[in-house]
Amino acid sequence: MYSFADEWGPEKIVEVHDVKHHMRGVLVVDNTARGPGKGGIRMVPDVTAGEVFGLARAMTWKNALADIPFGGAKAGIRADPKSPNKEAIVRSFARHLANLIPAHYVAGPDMNMGEREMAWFADELGSRDACTGKPASMGGLPHELGSTGFGVVHAAKVAMEFTKRPLSGASVAIEGYGNVGTFTHKFMEEQGAKVVALSDSKGTAYLPSGLKYGMAMKTKQEKGTITAYLGAQVKPAAALFGLPADILIPGARPNVITEANAAGVKAKLVVEAANIPMTPAIERTLSDRGVVVIPDFVANAGGVISSYVETIHGTPEEMFRIVEKKITANTRLALERSKGKYVRDAALQIAQERVREAMQHRK
State the amino acid at position 2 in one-letter form: Y
Write the single-letter amino acid at 131.
Answer: C
Q: What are phi and psi of 228, to 5 degrees?
A: -85, 5
- C-alpha dihedral over 13, 17, 21, 22, to 10 degrees? 100
Per the document, the length of the chain is 363
Spatial distance between the Cα atoms of 271 and 174, rounded to a whole number of angstroms: 10
- Annotation says 86 is catalytic: no
Q: Are 107 and 40 in contact (CB under 8 A)?
A: yes
Query: Which residues, at least 6 apart from 355, have a Cβ–Cβ distance to it below 8 Å?
Result: 8, 31, 33, 34, 60, 61, 64
| 3-state secondary structure string across 315-331 | CHHHHHHHHHHHHHHHH
Question: Rounded to whole angstroms, how far apart are CA atoms 153 and 324?
Answer: 9
Give the helix ranges, DSSP H, for the chain: 49-66, 86-96, 115-125, 147-162, 179-190, 213-223, 280-288, 296-299, 302-311, 316-338, 343-360
Burial 118-136 (b: 16+ CB within 10 A, else e): bbbbbebbeebebbbbbee
Sign of the Cα torsion 116, 121, 124, 125 reads negative
**Rounded distance between C-alpha atoms, residue 343 and residue 153, angstroms:** 17
**C-alpha of 237 from chain center:** 21
Distance separating alpha carbons of residues 109 and 91, to the nearest angstrom: 14
Amino acid letter, residue 129 = D
Q: Name the catalytic one among 12, 20, 38, 74.
A: 74
Catalytic residues: 74
